[in-house]
A and B are shown apart, each in its own frame.
Chain A
Amino acid sequence: EADIYQTPRYLVIGTGKKITLECSQTMGHDKMYWYQQDPGMELHLIHYSYGVNSTEKGDLSSESTVSRIRTEHFPLTLESARPSHTSQYLCASSESSDHTGELFFGEGSRLTVL
């Protein structure tokens, strides 16, 4: 059973607010990812990390930032939220050293920006 947790599950905030979506995993996985998913659409990679102090931007242009100070923790921050940021954000981790391992997903954070 996967042990990857996201908080908050649901968040409604006003434009211009700063928010941080938390993601933690207890599996000791080095690789962690943030995806954005709109209803009926494909997952888009916005950030990833292959280990502590390693972060990269994904293929989707994003105004968010991430940090990886500890293996188990990979928070995503939006400095100034806008209605276009309304979406579901999925955090995932993987243990595979050869990139072929499955991804374990958290339950997601559904963000609504008014």
Chain B
Amino acid sequence: GQNIDQPTEMTATEGAIVQINCTYQTSGFNGLFWYQQHAGEAPTFLSYNVLDGLEEKGRFSSFLSRSKGYSYLLLKELQMKDSASYLCAVMDSNYQLIWGAGTKLIIKP
């Protein structure tokens, strides 16, 4: 079966750095996405990785290792507004997105 694993919840301090991990087992691979979802709102796109390595976009970076079936989202200089759920999703060989349950990130002052 296809599976996406990410921690259920993480807590970090304002101004710090946090890394949210995602491991996957899917039928084929056509890219990995990270989305941010604030409580009661729709998900919004953060990043897309299809090749191994690190993609940096401002305070957010996303890393992919296809051989390990592993990705992480790195958030720097955390702000209170970063409190949200972070969803990892993998596009399989049929170009369907397989979603993780999301990691709820709590930022404390």
Binding site for B on A (CB under 8 A): 40-45, 58-59, 90, 99-100, 102-108
Contact = CB atoms under 8 A, between A and B. Distances in A.
Contacts of A104: 45
Contacts of B104: 40
A40 B95 CA distance: 24
Interface of B: 4, 8, 30-31, 33, 35, 41-45, 48, 50, 87, 89, 91, 95-97, 99-102, 104
Contacts, number: 47
A40 B102 contact: yes
Interface of A is mostly: loop
Contact of A103 (B45, B96, B101, B102): B45
7 contacts: A40-B8, A40-B102, A43-B43, A43-B89, A99-B91, A100-B48, A105-B42
A107 B4 CA distance: 24
B91 A100 contact: yes
Nearest to B31: A100
B33 A102 contact: yes
Nearest to A88: B40
B30 A99 contact: yes
A105 B36 CA distance: 11
